[in-house]
Amino acid sequence: MDTLVVYYSIFGNNKGIATNIAQVNNYDIVEFNPGTMLRVFQFFMRKKRLAKKAKQISIEKYNNLIVCGPIWAGKPAPAIIKLLENIGIKNKSISCNFTYTQDYSETETQIADLIEISGGISKEIVFWNIRNEMETLI
């Protein structure tokens, strides 16, 4: 098995997507948790730094990485950016699944550029509009 699914999820949407991908394809799965929810929001507001837990995820034995995470205010959550910057994706094929409610602006370009700068190979970027799913439940 040479594919790992890594997800960052606060409300469970990305965990569900990641779990489904991993189960259907029999991939390994791991949660990326850079700190408490409060710390993540403080980072988003530029008041604190994220914990350096990104380096604790070992991806050496995997050739393919699938990253699942949210988009906040039209941009990837800061935790996803830190994850891609810090785990060592050089020569790895990276696919991303992002959830959003309103807009994902230039996320695709930003993530593809980040993967390229980090030496990875951008394979696929998929967007999931969770607002439609939430409206169905109401």
Averaged pLDDT of the chain: 84
Q: What is the pTM of this model?
A: 0.83
Instruction: Look at 48 and 105; give whichever has higher pLDDT.
Output: 105
The token pair at 72 is 């906040």
At 18-38, the pLDDT tens digits run 999 999 999 999 998 876 666
Mean pLDDT value across residues 11-16: 92
At 51-94, the pLDDT tens digits run 555 457 889 999 999 999 999 888 898 889 888 988 899 999 99
CATH class of 3-137: alpha beta
Please report which helix (H) or strand (E) contains residue 134, including its range: helix 130-137
Under DSSP, is residue 137 helix (H, G, I), strand (E, B) or coil? Answer: helix
- Domain range list for the chain: 3-137
Under DSSP, is residue 132 helix (H, G, I), strand (E, B) or coil? Answer: helix
Lowest mean pLDDT among 40-44, 60-64, 116-120, 133-137: 133-137
